[in-house]
Structure formats: C-alpha cells, structure tokens
Structure 1
Amino acid sequence: MKRNISPVYYGDYLQLDKILSAQSLQSTRYGEPAHDEMLFVIVHQVYELWFKQVLHELNSVIDAFAQDSIPDQALISVVHRLNRIIQIQQLMNDQISVMETMTPQQFLAFRDYLVPASGFQSIQFKRLEISLGLKREFRIDFDKQSFYSRLKDADRELLEGLEAKPSLFDLVDEWLARMPLLKFNDFDFWKYYQQATDTMLSDDRQTIVTNTTLSDTEREQELRDWQSTRDNFDALFMQENYNKLREQGKFRLSHKAMLAALFIKQYSEEPIFNLPFQVITALTEIDEKLTIWRYRHAMMVQRMLGTKIGTGGSSGHHYLKKTTESNRIFLDFFNMATFLLPKSMLPPLPDAISRYLGFYLSQGKS
C-alpha cells in the first residue's frame, strides 16, 4: 500500500525562519552594529551545529562498543562514523581561517560587550570532550574547582552524569583488553618480540656510545633518553612496572589494552586486524584534529587579543596553549610508534592464530 506522504518545503524542513533570525548582535544594544559581529556569531553557531552532528555520530559509536559483542559489521559502521567525524573536524579547523579574516581592531569593536560569555562555556564541546574520554581528572580547566558550580542546574547534571558513564576511551580499552595474550601452541609472539627489541635497543645504545660526533654532555643526555625508552620497553613485559608508569601519567591504556593495540599495529596488514587497525587509526586522527583545533584556536586568540584575558575570565592565549598538549585522549596510540618493529623482524602469523584471534575479537565481555 502506497503511503500518503505530505509535501515538505525547503524552508519549512530546515526551519530557516528560526535559524536565520537567530543572529542577535550585542553591539546594537549600545549604538551602531559592529559589522564583523555577524561573522563572529555565525561562525560560533555553525560550530555548535557541527558539535551536535559529531555528538550524534560519537554516541552511536559509544553504543556499539557498549554492546556485549562487536561483530565485523558493527566495526565497519564504527569506522565509517569515526571517519565522518574526522571530516567534520577538518571543516571546523578550516573555519578558523574564516574567523581570521577579522582584524583585531574589528574584533575589539564588540569584544567588550560579550563579557562573561566564552567558548569555554560550550556545553556541547564539554560533552564531546567527556564522551571521548577527557574527564575532569585528565583535563586542564582554567577554573576546575568552580566550573560545574557556575553552570545551570540542568547542564551541570548532564555533564556530571556523563562523567560517571564509560567514555569511548574506557570502552575501547575494554575492547582491546579482551584480546588474549599470544601464547598459542609453539607460537609465543611476546617472547620473540622481547628478544627482538633487546637486540634493537642494544644496537641503539652501541650507536650512541661509539658516536664520535657527540660531546660528553650530548652523549650523557642521549644515554638518559635511551634508558627512559628502555624502561618503557621493559614495562611492556612487567605489568607492575607498567602500572607504576601509568600512575605517573606515562601511559593511560591498561596493560592488556596496550599490548593488544601494539599487536594490532604490528600486524596491521593482516586481514583479521584490518578493521581494528582502522579503529585505532581513526581515533588517533580524531585526537590529532582536536589538538590542531586547539592550537589554531590558541593562535587566533593570541592574534586577536595578544596577552589580554579571555572574556570568560580565562588567561586567554596562555590557557588555550596549555590545553593544546595537555588535554589529549589517545596519546598512547601516537606514542606506540616507539614500540613498533620493522616488518622484516616480525614472525608470520600461523593460520591457526588468525582463526583463534578472529573468534576472540568479536566475542562478548568476559
């Protein structure tokens, strides 16, 4: 039976009467409208619309990882939606260039009318950070102690509720940790890996010691750096040491999740690991795009305000620059390159291992 579908018109469907009448300029309250305030308002409204879409995609990804099992078909959708988020992030980063067509003096024509409004108060952006895994114990806020107390009750309850729920980082960590450590019949990958890395690190140390172009001071520094790398490698094989470094903030992934992610990245070209590798790669890129957005935002604020404080009371450029490197989520995926071996040093995976891992990668939570 054919449905009786009512006609829908472009303007009504998009509710353009609401959208196009939502630009209220503060400068008109005090005299002539500041021409560039319209740009400022629209850019930030567009950001909020993209935040809404990113949260829509992100929540579906979180729901997928929250299930008892994650079959390949679900991972295909996850990768697709994560890649869509990446493309949206690229748009948001490019949008800063539009803002930078405004000069500092053009911004100053209306800037003082915005106090105490600040992008820091974006509830959707805070939802995005928390949902990804940047909960309050991991992030830098310019006013961490009183931030939640300054929110409306409904917004505070929403964000505090999110803080209590598993984030995407938490769920991905659990998903990775479900993969068994690889000791299967006569195949012991980690024993092989430890022997190979011992050889690699010994060669590195010998290169430093015999490098005649280094001064004594430079050689001592390189040897200290080498020892730090050696300690990180050793921690992979000693969970107690790993947990100590994790408590110090050097790692965030659990020990099992770190080993699983490392194995997936080592064998990324194996069909059984292609989808998990794409998930890890997409999450790495999302974190990178977010870091680039923070950096470009910080540079734009410095360009517009110099060292002035932000309208919301933060230290402006200084605060934004500080969050650029500190407010990271999937940093372990970036640093994992430290532990990768050349393909030529990897043993081939037996067919039985691929079948064994294929079963576990799609199984439910233990």
Structure 2
Amino acid sequence: MPKNVKPVYYGDYLQLDKLLDSQQPHSKQYGPEAHDEMLFIIVHQVYELWFKQVLHELRAIYKEFCAEQLDDRALQLVAHRLRRVLTIQDLMNDQVGVIETMTPQEFLEFRDYLVPASGFQSIQFKELEIILGLTRDTRIAFDQQSFYNRLSEEHRVYLEELETHPSLFDCVDQWLARMPFLQFDDFSFWDVYQQAVQNSLDRDEEIIRQNAADDGQLETELASLQVNRDNFSALFDNERYKSLQEDNRVRLSQRAMLSALFITQYREEPAFHLAHQVITSLAEMDEKLTIWRYKHAMMVQRMLGTKIGTGGSSGHDYLRRTTEQNRVFKDFFAMATYLLPKSALPELPSAVRQALGFYFRHDD
C-alpha cells in the first residue's frame, strides 16, 4: 500500500458536514419540530448505513461463491466476512430497542408527515433480500403484487435487473452440488447411510410398540414415525424430491442437500470445519434477519396497533407474515430432521478422507 503523504482531517475524511446535515425533520415545516422525529430519522439512517456495509460484505462473499473453485483460503475469507455480517446483525437487532424508547404518542406527533414514505421503499433492504435469494414467487401475496409499486422508475428498473442474476443462494447451491460426496470408487456413503437410517427407525418403532400406553397412542406415534421414514426416503428419490421443490417445501437441489447433510454429519472432520462454519453462518444470518423482522413487527404493533402503515400495507400483520415467509436458507434448519447420532454414522475410509481434504485444499 502506498504511503499517504497528504494530511487527512477527521471531519473531511468522514464527510461529517454532509453526514450531520442530512437529518431534516419534516415536522418543523408545519410548526414546532417534533422532538422525537430526530431520533426516528437517525435510527433509520443508521440502519441504511449498516445495510450498505452488509451489502458490501455480501457482494464480496457472492464473488467468491460464484467462482468455479472455492479453495480453502477463499472459504476462510468467506467465513470471516460472514462472521462480520452476523456481528452487524446483532447491532441492528439491538438498535430496535433505541427506537422503542419513543412512545406511540410521540410517534403520532409527526407520523402523518411521512406519508407515503415507508420502510417498504428501502432499496438497500430489497437489494439485500434479492442478493440473498428471496425470489418474487416465494414472497407473501402482498409483496408479489406490490414489491415495485411504490418505487421510483429508476429503482424499479435497477431491482428488476438485479433479479435476473443468480443469487447467493444459487451460488451456494452450486458450490455444495459440486462437492464429490455422493459416490467414491469403492465406497458409497449413502448406501451405508440409508441402512443406518433404516436401523435407527426400526429401533424407534420397536421402542414405540413396547411403550405405547394404548392403541390410540400407538397409532399416533407410528404415524409420526412414518412421516420420518417418508422424509428420509425423499432425499434419495429424484421424483419425490423434485415434487418437494415444486411445492416450495425445499429449495436446495438434491445434490446440494445431500452434500450439506454430509458436511453436517461429519463436521468434526478437519476437511469440513470451514464448510460447516459457512453453512452454520448462512443459517444464522437467516435467523438473525428473521429476528430483526420479528422485532420490527412487534415495534410497529406497539406504535400503531392495527393502523395501516404509512406505505399502505397492513402494518404489523404484513410484517409478521414476512417474518414467517421470507426466509432463504431454511433448508439448513430442516437438516436436523435427517441427522443421525455419531454412534450410528459409518466410518469414513482413509482414502475418502484424503480425497475430501484435497478437494478443499485444491486451489489451481
């Protein structure tokens, strides 16, 4: 890095004159300034700054994932940047408590001056969702109909163009699907795995039959066990898995799901430490975003009750439904369904361990 030979002044470097002059409460245009509008503006501006940093990190992560080869060094960088995103998300979630120091009555002092501006118009947040992989057809009905309705033409065109590119989810799926975990020359993990699953489920059935209090309980628990059998078998049935994808019950491709499951089952293997850390961080990022949406929904209910939001949505009800629906990496949470205890896992042959280690270290 070249040495800086020009003196830099703190305020000039951070452009503080511009930054600190960007809070302009609307209420003072119509009379006395509402004291809490300043807090409202600053909190939302800080959110937008954090969105900017998160997008900066996600674009770099996206670039690494979309490369043809994601070697160990690149994966280490991805894991580091994901941890940074998670730390930022913690701050964003805690920040909800700051705006909650404002009472509903204090908010009503300036709320009507905001119409029709709304967080629904946050371009950066929409961009964040699109880059992560939230598609239009998986959004709630209001979003599918109104996602672009309240945006400027410039922003609408920008986001629509962004939707034509592969998302981070797509690149993660491709990365997982490329991993050579499905078949080795002299070892088929999945054949051994399916037998281990069958043995485990058979033991569960035996326990149920021996301990059921009555026929009703026996029938209920056996039906639940059959659901588990069906879930496991769908992993290895191309047509059934495809049907689950078409019903939006899973999003990952079958190969990607199996690779993610393999990594999770053998996460203590040295070759899998980073890959498992990345998978866990992606799931945690999704979880923290869900928590942020939930906190936002509860804050809106506290401030507005059942009133319509300034952007025309149903306020709290709309935000609550996005909390439940707008998740990207939920398949990583569902993997717990398919995990076996360590004692039931087949031992990996040494040749397989060597092949997997080479795959993650290979960087040509």
Match of 1:271 in 2: 270
Identity %: 63
TM-score (norm 1): 0.94
Match of 1:340 in 2: 339
What are the Cα deviations for residues 202-255 of structure 1, in whole angstroms up to 9, with x where unaligned?
233344444444682x55444433322221100111111111111111111000
Offset at 1:347? 2.2
Separation (CA, whole Å) in 2 of partners of 1:11 and 1:166: 39
Aligned-pair RMSD on alpha carbons? Answer: 1.8
Q: How does 1:161-310 map to 2 (within 5 A)?
A: 161-213=161-213, 216=216, 219-310=218-309
Distance 1:107 1:213, change over 3 A: farther
One-letter code aligned to 2:332: F
What are the Cα deviations for residues 146-179 of structure 1, in whole angstroms up to 9, with x where unaligned?
4324322221121111111011100000000011
Q: How many residues align?
A: 362
Contact 2:212-2:218 within 8 A present in 1 as well: no
Offset at 1:349? 1.8
Contact 1:178-1:361 within 8 A present in 2 as well: no
Offset at 1:3? 5.0
Separation (CA, whole Å) in 2 of partners of 1:101 and 1:214: 54
Q: How does 1:99-178 map to 2 (within 5 A)?
A: 99-140=99-140, 142-178=142-178
TM-score (norm 2): 0.95
Distance 1:102 1:215, change over 3 A: farther
Contact 2:72-2:360 within 8 A present in 1 as well: no
Q: SS at the partner of 2:110?
A: helix
Further displaced range: 75-84 or 3-12 = 3-12
Contact 1:69-1:362 within 8 A present in 2 as well: no
Offset at 1:5? 1.2
What are the Cα deviations for residues 246-294 of structure 1, in whole angstroms up to 9, with x where unaligned?
1111111000000000000000010111111111011011000000001
Distance 1:65 1:3, change over 3 A: closer
Q: Which runs of 5+ in 1 are unaligned?
A: none
Match of 1:84 in 2: 84
Contact 2:177-2:253 within 8 A present in 1 as well: yes
What are the Cα deviations for residues 314-348 of structure 1, in whole angstroms up to 9, with x where unaligned?
00000111111110100010110111111111122
One-letter code aligned to 1:349: L
What are the Cα deviations for residues 51-86 of structure 1, in whole angstroms up to 9, with x where unaligned?
000000000000011112111111110000011000
One-letter code aligned to 1:226: L
Further displaced range: 175-184 or 141-150 = 141-150
Contact 1:287-1:330 within 8 A present in 2 as well: yes
One-letter code aligned to 1:179: M
Contact 2:47-2:92 within 8 A present in 1 as well: yes
Offset at 1:360? 3.8
Contact 2:132-2:167 within 8 A present in 1 as well: yes
Further displaced range: 105-114 or 222-231 = 222-231
Offset at 1:31? 1.1
One-letter code aligned to 2:341: P
Offset at 1:198? 1.0
Separation (CA, whole Å) in 1 of partners of 2:214 and 2:278: 41
One-letter code aligned to 1:306: G
Separation (CA, whole Å) in 1 of partners of 2:314 and 2:183: 52
Distance 1:208 1:272, change over 3 A: same
Contact 2:182-2:259 within 8 A present in 1 as well: no
